[in-house]
Amino acid sequence: MSLLHPVSAVRHAAYSLHYALVRANYNRHLIARKKHVGRAAFKSYELYNRHGNDALLEALLIGLGDEDVVVDVGANTGTYTLAAAATEPTATIVAVEPNPDVVSQLRANVEVNDFGSRVELLDCGLGQSDETREFHLSSYDELGSFSLAHASAWEARVVDTTTVSVRSLDSLVDEGTVPPPDHVKIDVEGFGLNVLRGAETVLREHRPRVYFELHDARGSHDEAAAKSLLRDAGYNLVPVREGWVCEPPAKKEPPQSA
């Protein structure tokens, strides 16, 4: 049996305690504290304002406009979803999360804020095609992933596996399940390239702004291939602390009649 380095052991114990307390809070619906992100305020059963200071989230909220459609891919417990819904009451948010345990936590946060009429939850993964895949449940809930390496990062361990449905964003938009998005946030623990490959038509035809989180320190997706795909679709990649804010090419204005 391998032993953890003392520093890693302390971190593992702290993380394990944190996730145990978070699960208890969600299971019993004990305390939903108010969180502040930019000019937005919302309630969450999270114990602290996790991801509330993300540069990608700040960019999303700055760019969010009236009646915009946001697709939050890898929504987790909903910080981006809740902040967007609180910032722009006319926005529609589609929150996509494949982890069955985390989906229930996300749903609790949406319900405690009465955002159910404007937030649609999809309990599936997004990928390159419509299929089913094995999903690894992690002892650190946030690290659940289609990638075994990501689910067991930071001293976490895989506690179980489950089969989940995977859809492509192109097929969801084509069939009308998801409206053409204005913003797409992607934070999927190493599966981001697959999400992009399943969204190439959406990127070229609808040109949403993309907020792409990198996980290169954990052996993630092929960063070069993701960068190439986005640039081939005309996107300009602006590096920020967590990844890239991907600015789409300007939409062509229809020709004016004489």
SS (H, E, C) 178-243: CCCCCEEEECCCCCHHHHHHCCHHHHHHCCCEEEEECCHHHCCCCHHHHHHHHHHCCCEEEECCCE
pTM of the model: 0.89
Q: What percent of the chain has pLDDT over 70?
A: 84
User: 101 pLDDT band (50/70/90 cuts)?
Assistant: confident
69 is written with which tokens?
Answer: 């459609």
Mean pLDDT for 128-141 is: 84
Q: What does the pLDDT read at residue 111?
A: 97
Checking if the pLDDT of 246 tops 60, the result is: yes
Checking if the pLDDT of 4 tops 80, the result is: no
39 by Cβ neighbours in 10 Å (0-12 / 13-18 / 19+) ranks as: exposed
Q: Provide the H-helix boundaries in 75-124.
A: 79-87, 100-112
Number of alpha carbons in the 13 Å side-chain half-sphere of residue 67: 0
Q: Where are the domains of the chain?
A: 6-247
pLDDT tens per residue, range 146-187: 767 776 666 667 777 889 999 999 999 999 999 999 999 999
Q: Which CATH number fits domain 6-247: 3.40.50.150, 1.10.3470.10, 3.40.309.10, 3.40.190.10?
A: 3.40.50.150
106 is written with which tokens?
Answer: 């996300």
Strand order across the beta sheet in which 125-126 lies: 125-126, 158-167, 131-138
The average confidence (pLDDT) of the chain is: 87
User: 217 pLDDT band (50/70/90 cuts)?
Assistant: very low
Q: What does the pLDDT read at residue 1?
A: 43
Residues in the chain, total: 258
Q: Which residues pair with 137 in a beta bridge?
A: 160
Does residue 195 contact residue 188 with C-beta atoms inside 8 Å? yes
Highest mean pLDDT among 50-59, 144-153, 239-248: 239-248
User: 88 pLDDT band (50/70/90 cuts)?
Assistant: very high
Q: What does the pLDDT read at residue 118?
A: 94
Q: What does the pLDDT read at residue 23?
A: 80
User: 132 pLDDT band (50/70/90 cuts)?
Assistant: very high
Does residue 134 contact residue 119 with C-beta atoms inside 8 Å? no
